[in-house]
Amino acid sequence: MRLRFTKMHGAGNDFVVIDATKQPLTLTPEQMRHLGDRRFGVGCDQILVIEPSTDAGADFRYRIFNNTGAEVEHCGNGSRCFVRYVVDAGLTDKREIHVDTLNRRLRLMLQDDGRVTVNMGAPVFEPAALPFDPAGLVPRLEHGFELWPVEGVELGVVSMGNPHAVQRVADVATAPVATLGPRIEGHARFARRVNAGFLQVLARDRIALRVYERDAGETLACGTGACAAVVVGIRAGWLDSAVEVQTRGGQLRIEWAGGDSPVLMTGPAVKVFDGEIEL
Ligand SMILES: N[C@H](CCC[C@H](N)C(=O)O)C(=O)O
């Protein structure tokens, strides 16, 4: 099969974007893995498949697959690239777009400076939402927020639609992302595995972040991970409600007013090239 695609990135988190708005497309996990392979295929962290909406309340739907072929619930950087794609491809003339993912409806706004703001929905802190099994653990409370002792560190857990476990570190540059990241990502207490965030507080409105992503390893940026780190930092009393997040691939802005209010993420979305591949 000859497949047309668009290569994009959001703060260095890179995607193969496939437009399936005009004809249905089903790729096997093996075909996804080939697309994601940085030597034998195109190479990407995740694959984004854009489809027509199946509900009057949304303009589109899209599906996200890690480069292992596993479908996931949410991708912050991918949602911004989705907006850039559908606007540039002329699939919509709107600047506020509603899209359905596996388990959320997102509202996305294209800003005049080219960045995209995404209403990422509200965080969910109940362990069962990830899922995370806290049985037998005694959390340390930081400003009333539970930090769970796992693998010798303290994890703040939160679902942004996909699962995240965030720990505070003194310096992201020396954080044990390559060794501790996979141990947390695959830990038995996370039945559907987890994205492992390493957060360094630079100021109450600025953090540095590295994320060992579920099913993808360390990426240069993780949008849902940035949301997760900021809301954990706010609940733990380390951060204010608007935070600049420095990732290895670029900068994101995360805002959250607390409670059931939605998390707003603003950041870049860049098209790199169009291509075709024989699958
Ligand atoms: N690896 C994530 C999906 C991609 C999320 C990330 N790329 C983002 O920008 O949010 C997971 O399995 O939940």
d(CA 266, CA 192): 28
SS3 47: strand
Within 6 Å (CB) of ligand 1, which residues are found? 13, 45-46, 66, 72, 75-78, 162, 195, 213-216, 219, 222-225
User: Is 127-261 the same fold as 2-120+268-278?
Assistant: yes
**pLDDT tier at 126, thresholds 50, 70, 90:** very high
**pLDDT tier at 226, thresholds 50, 70, 90:** very high
Q: Report pTM.
A: 0.96
**pLDDT tier at 158, thresholds 50, 70, 90:** very high
Residues in binding site: 13, 46, 66, 76-77, 162, 195, 213-214, 223-224
Shortest-distance Cα residue to atom 3 of ligand 1 = 75
Q: Which tens digit of pLDDT belongs to each residue from 203-215?
A: 999 999 999 999 9
**Does the annotation count 75 as an active-site position?**
yes
Q: Out of 44, 75, 81, 227, pick the active-site residue.
A: 75
Letter string b/e over residues 192-223, b meaning 16 or more CB atoms within 10 A of that residue's CB: ebbbbbbbbbeeeeebbbbbbbbbbbbbbbbb
**Does the annotation count 81 as an active-site position?**
no
Q: Which tens digit of pLDDT belongs to each residue from 23-79?
A: 989 999 999 999 999 999 999 999 999 999 999 999 999 999 999 999 999 999 999
d(CA 172, CA 264): 24
Per-residue tokens: 207: 């953090």
Query: Under CATH, to which class is 127-261 assigned?
Result: alpha beta
Q: How is domain 2-120+268-278 classified at the CATH fold level? A: Diaminopimelate Epimerase; Chain A, domain 1 (3.10.310)
Q: What ranges do the domains of the chain cover?
A: 2-120+268-278, 127-261
Q: What is the ipTM of this complex?
A: 0.95
